[in-house]
Amino acid sequence: MNTFEYLRPATIAEAVAAAAEPGAAYLAAGTNLVDLMKGGISHPTRLVDINRLPGLDRLEHLPDGGVRIGALVRNADLAHDPVFARRFPAIAEALLSGASAQLRNAATVGGNLMQRTRCAYFYDVASACNKRAPGAGCDARGGENRLHAVLGWSESCIATHPSDFCVPLVALDAVVEIEGRAGRREVALESFHQLPGNTPERDSVLGPGELIVAVRLPPAAAKFAAHARYLKVRDRTSYAFAVVSAAAALEVDGGRIAEARLALGGVAARPWRARAAEKVLAGTRPEAATLRRAAEAALAQARPSGENAFKIELARRIVARALALAAAGTPERVPALPASPFASVAGAAVHA
C-alpha cells in the first residue's frame, strides 16, 4: 500500500473540496477500497474519510411515500430495518445475499454503488486491463471469461458490476443524490454506472470530488411489496458474487400483472434494467409461457463476450424463475438462504 494523506472532514463541503484534488478518494467502510489499495490496484494519495460526516447515516421514510437512504447507512442496518424490509423486500433480500455478515455490518450504501468489478484481470496487476490502465488492452477478452458480461460490453472491456443491492434498486427507479463543487444533482441509478465503450476506466458519472450523499426510492417503488424477489446463482451457497442474478417486482391486480419491474445482475458493467421484458409482462397473467417470453425479451440483445454463452440461457431461466417466485408472492420472512435458488423449496427454513 502506498503512503497517503488521511483527512477527516467535518462537513460535506469540506469533504468535496478535499476530494476534488487529483489522486484523492473517499473512504467509507473501505471494504473494497482498502482491498484494492493492498493489492496495488488503486493508489490514492489522499483518503477523505467520510464516516463521521453528519446526517449521511439516516434512513428516512419520506412524507410522499418514498424513502431516502443516506450514503453511510450500513448494508446490515438497511436490510434489518423492519419497515424498509417490508416495503422493499427484494432490496433486503439482495443485501442479505451479498458478502458476509461481517462485511454487511461495515459496508455502506454509497460504497456498494462505487464498488469496482471483480474481473480477475482487473485485480491481477500483471495482466492487461483497460479499466485499471487505460489503453493497456483487455486480457479477459480472449482469456478466462466464463463469468463476464453478455450485455453492454465493448471490445475494450467485458467486466461486470458485482453489486447485488443495485439490481433491485435499478428495477425500482432509484435515484442517486450527488453533492459536488457545483452543488447537488440527481442521477437515475440506471444511468449512474457507465457502460465501458472506449472509456472503461470510468465506472460511473461521478466527476472529481463528487460524493454520493443518498439513494432515493420514489413512492411508486413500494407498490411491489407483495410480489418482489431477488434471485442469485453463485458458485457456492454463500459469500460469492453472482454468476447471474435477477430482481423481479410485480404489481398484481386480479391475477394480472399491472406493472412489472425487472433487472439483472452479473451480466453487464451496470445493473441491467430489462424494460422490454417489463412491456411483455404488462397486462398479462404470470403463466410460464409468458414469463419465458419476458425472459427472452430481457436477453434479446445479449451476446457472449467469450466462453460464456451459457450465461445467456442461464439468465433467461433465472429471470423466469424470479418472475414466477415474485408472482407467487413475497414470502412472510426472508429465507435463511436469501436469494438462493434453493430457498424456494417447500420446507426450507426461514427466520424472522
Partner 1 sequence: MPDGSRSGAEYSLRIRVNGTDHAVSLDPRVTLLDFLRERLHLTGTKKGCNFGECGACTLHLDGRRVNACMVLAVQADGREVTTIEGLAEADRLHPVQQAFIDADGFQCGFCTPGQVMSAVACIAEGHAGSDAEIREWMSGNLCRCSAYPQIVDAVRAAAAAMAGKG
Partner 2 sequence: MKPMKFGIGQAVKRVEDARLITGHGQYTADYLPTGTLAAVFLRSPHAHARFTVSDTSAAKSMPGVRLIATAADVAHLGDLPCVAALGNSDGSKMPLPPYPVLAKDEVLHVGDAVAMVVAETEAQAREAADAIEIDWEPLAAVIEMTDAIAPGAASVWRQAAGNIAYDAHMGDKAKTDAAFSKAAQVVSLQVVNNRLIANYMEPRAAIGEYDAASGRYTLTVASQGVHGLRDILSKQILKVPPENLRVVTPDVGGGFGTKAFMYREYPLVLDAARQVGAPVRWVSDRSEHFIGDAQGRDNLTTAEMALDKNGRFLAMRVDILGNLGAYLSQFAPYIPWLGATMATGTYDIPVLHARVRGIYTHTLPVDAYRGAGRPEAAYVLERLVDQCARQIGMPREELRAKNFVKSTQMPYKTITDRTYDVGDFEGAMRKSLANAGYFDFDRRIDESKRRGKVRGIGFASYIECTAWGDGEEGSVKLEPDGTFTVLIGTQSNGQGHATAYAQVVSQHLDVPLERIRVIQGDSDRIPTGHGTGGSRSIPIGAAMLARASEKLSVQLKELAADKLEAAAADLEIADGRVRIAGTDRSISFEEIAKLPGATPEKLKAVDEFVPPTATYPNGTHVCELEIDPDTGVTEILRYGVCDDFGFTLNPLLLAGQVHGGVAQGIGQALYERTVYSEDGQLLTASFMDYCMPRAADIPEFHFETCNVPSTTNPLGLKGAGEAGSIAACPTVMNAVVDALHRAYGIDHIDMPATPSRVFAAVQQARH
Q: 3-state DSSP call for residue 37?
A: helix
Which residues from 227-286 bind partner 2, rule CB under 8 A? 233-241, 243
- Single out the residue of 146, 180, 173, 140 nearest to residue 158, CA to CA: 140
- Single out the residue of 90, 243, 253, 239 nearest to residue 165, CA to CA: 90
Residue 143: name its binding partner from partner 2, partner 1, none (Cβ under 5 to 8 Å by kind): partner 2
Q: Does 57 contact partner 1 by CB under 8 A?
A: no
Distances in Å between the Cα of 273 and the Cα atoms of 36, 210, 278 are 28, 25, 9
> Considering the complex, what minimum distance in angstroms separates the CB of residue 141 from partner 2?
12
Which residues from 62-91 bind partner 1, rule CB under 8 A? 76
Please state the separation of Cα 31 from the chain's center in Å. Answer: 15
- The 114-153 contact track toward partner 2, x by CB under 8 A, reads ----x-xx-xxxxx-----------x--xxx-xx------
The answer to whether residues 24 and 18 touch, using CB atoms and an 8 Å cutoff, is yes
Residue 311: name its binding partner from partner 1, partner 2, none (Cβ under 5 to 8 Å by kind): partner 2
Residue 49: name its binding partner from partner 1, partner 2, none (Cβ under 5 to 8 Å by kind): partner 1
- Indicate the helix (H) or strand (E) that contains 232: strand 228-234
Distance separating alpha carbons of residues 31 and 106, to the nearest angstrom: 7
Q: Does 341 contact partner 2 by CB under 8 A?
A: yes
* C-alpha cell belonging to residue 305: 463476450
Distance separating alpha carbons of residues 100 and 96, to the nearest angstrom: 8
- The 162-201 contact track toward partner 2, x by CB under 8 A, reads ----------------------------------------
Which residues from 297-336 bind partner 1, rule CB under 8 A? 336
The answer to whether residues 266 and 246 touch, using CB atoms and an 8 Å cutoff, is no
The answer to whether residues 164 and 242 touch, using CB atoms and an 8 Å cutoff, is yes
**Exposure string over 17-49, b if 16+ CB within 10 A, otherwise e:** ebbbeeebbbbbbbbbbeebbeeebbebebbbb
- Single out the residue of 151, 110, 161 nearest to residue 131, CA to CA: 161
Q: Does 345 contact partner 2 by CB under 8 A?
A: yes
Q: From the list 35, 124, 201, 296, which residue makes contact with partner 1 (rule: CB under 8 A)? A: 35
Residue 125: name its binding partner from partner 1, partner 2, none (Cβ under 5 to 8 Å by kind): partner 2
| Residue type, position 193, single letter | H
Distance separating alpha carbons of residues 272 and 242, to the nearest angstrom: 13
Q: Does 99 contact partner 1 by CB under 8 A?
A: yes
Q: From the list 12, 20, 103, 282, which residue makes contact with partner 1 (rule: CB under 8 A)? A: 103
Q: From the list 3, 64, 135, 183, which residue makes contact with partner 1 (rule: CB under 8 A)? A: 3
Stretch that binds partner 1, among 144-152, 155-163, 175-183, 236-244 (CB under 8 A): 236-244
Residues that bind partner 1 (rule: CB under 8 A) add up to a total of 42
Which residues contact partner 1 by CB under 8 A? 1, 3-10, 14, 18, 27, 29-31, 34-35, 38-39, 45-47, 49, 51, 76, 99-103, 105-106, 237-239, 336-338, 348-349, 351-352
Which residues contact partner 2 by CB under 8 A? 1-3, 39, 118, 120-121, 123-127, 139, 142-144, 146-147, 233-241, 243, 310-311, 313-314, 317-318, 321, 337, 341-342, 345-346
